[in-house]
Amino acid sequence: MAENLGLEAKQLTDMFGDTVQALRMNYYPPCQQADKVVGISPHSDPIALTLLTETNNVQGLQIRKNGMWVPVHAIPGTFIINIGDMLEIWSNGKYKSIEHRVVVNPDRELLSVAAFHAPNEDSIIGPLPDLVKKEGAKYKSIDLSNYYKLNNTLQGKKHANEMKLVSATN
């Protein structure tokens, strides 16, 4: 990822030296009225990266693409990698976090495991300096603790949108 951004790998890896990682196991029971409930509300992940695996090959993850919800069909035994809002902000918008949700299945339970990766506690969430030289910053910079205070609900792309500068486009 760093190479694609024109950065030294160390610039990104140093941000994750003493990082906090979280692991969440998700269980969604079958629901005969699946069209009337949501497993997880639409949101983008506020952190940097999420690794996700669906453990029992039941599809439930959907991404928003061109205003439509599209199912993600995971390949058994693989991980889905979600770019989070932090990586969108650090990359000054070159990488985009993806809004996603989980829907339940009417006949089968859905099991998944998500690993969330966030930076060191002393990190600044803002465009990396080397990436704003040509185009200017599209996002504000803020320390990690204040970034987490922006919003703690699952609500669309709240974190990335809160951090956008008014004059920034796309």
How do the pLDDT tens digits run along the chain, 170 residues long?
889 988 888 888 888 877 778 999 999 999 998 888 888 889 999 999 999 998 888 889 999 999 999 999 988 889 999 999 999 999 999 999 999 999 999 999 999 999 999 898 888 999 999 999 888 999 999 999 888 887 665 566 666 777 777 665 55
Structural domain of 87 = 9-163
* 67 part of a folded domain: yes
Given the DSSP bridges, would you call strands 124-125 and 61-65 parallel, antiparallel or unpaired?
unpaired
Number of compact structural domains in the chain: 1
* 170 part of a folded domain: no
- Minimal CA–CA distance to 157: which of 74, 51, 72, 63? 63
* 97 part of a folded domain: yes
* 3 part of a folded domain: no
Gap between the Cα atoms of 158 and 154, Å rounded: 8
Q: What is the CATH number of the domain that holds 115?
A: 2.60.120.330
* 125 part of a folded domain: yes
* 2 part of a folded domain: no
pLDDT tens digit string along 86-119?
Answer: 999 999 999 999 999 999 999 999 999 999 998 9
